Amino acid sequence: MTVHVVGTADQIAEGQHRVYEVSGRSVVIYHIQGEYYAILNRCPHQGAEMCKGPVCGTTLPSDVYEYAFGRQGEIVRCPWHGWEFEIKTGKSLVRPNTRLLRYEVVLEDGKLGIIL
Ligand code: FES
């Protein structure tokens, strides 16, 4: 495994994300609540570019006829068919056994890298 430096942390403001090309792969790094998370820029359903999906929240478990919304900024919704994924874990909220492909992020001396 190799650390690929992609840029600097200050290139991605809190709540924003940025796409990098790393060894022929399109990778999205999200900056959420002070941490950085990297995913392959490809939806596991039919391959949409996840960077084009909104970062949002989702509906939470609630009683019948009650609708609770939460987790704002922690979810990315696929731009094609709307599947929602936890950015921090890559886990699909639609299909629990489906995940975004994630990469470990390294932050050192203000430089961002991912491990491939
Ligand atoms: S391609 Fe992402 S939900 Fe279908």
- In tens, the pLDDT along 20-43 reads 999 999 999 999 999 999 999 999
Res 26: pLDDT: 98
Return the residue whose CA atom lies nearest to atom 1 of ligand 1: 46
Closest ligand 1 atom, residue 43 Cα: 2
Backbone φ/ψ region at 61: left (φ over 0), alpha (ψ -120 to 50), beta? beta
Q: Which residues of the chain have pLDDT under 50?
A: none
Is 49 touching ligand 1 by the criterion CB < 6 Å?
no
How far is C-alpha 107 from the chain's CA centre?
Answer: 17
Closest residue by Cα to residue 88 from 33, 47, 21, 45: 33
Res 1: pLDDT: 87
CA 54 – CA 46 distance, rounded (Å): 17
Closest ligand 1 atom, residue 48 Cα: 1
Domains of the chain: 3-115 (2.102.10.10)
